[in-house]
Amino acid sequence: MKLTLIIAFFSSLLFFVKLEVTDEIVAAVRQGKAAEVAKFFDQKVSIKLLEQEDVLSTAQAEANLKYFFEKHPVKGFTGSHVSTTNNNAQYITGTLETSVGKFRLSILIRRQLITQFRIEAEND
């Protein structure tokens, strides 16, 4: 019985830690802070910013995202979906509103790190 309670406690603790990570990422995106988002980048990140797509190091991905945010100042982010799959991957999708227009944003998180970050034209 004690073992079951301990397992349940740690499982729920891991669940809440994951929610905090997604909350922190969403908050950083809403503020347009590339450095804060980059804290959660994996060593290599598959990143797509409009028409430019590549697998980049954390530093390169941060620099590209910073440049995007400079050219497209963020007005807000409306999350439309956050989900967790069986293999502990999480997806965040939503609409990124900037001074230039609206974009579709999708983020894939594995092991508490962003492995894929995509900003695409809303009509794609």
Indicate the domain borders of the chain.
2-121
Please give the chain's pLDDT, 124 residues, in tens: 655 545 555 454 444 444 467 889 999 999 999 999 999 999 999 999 999 999 999 999 999 999 999 999 999 999 877 777 767 889 999 999 999 999 999 999 998 999 999 999 987 5
pTM passes above 0.85: no
By the 10 Å C-beta count (0-12 exposed, 13-18 middle, 19+ buried), 34 is classed as buried
Q: Which CATH number fits domain 2-121: 2.120.10.70, 3.10.450.50, 3.40.50.10260, 3.90.1010.10?
A: 3.10.450.50
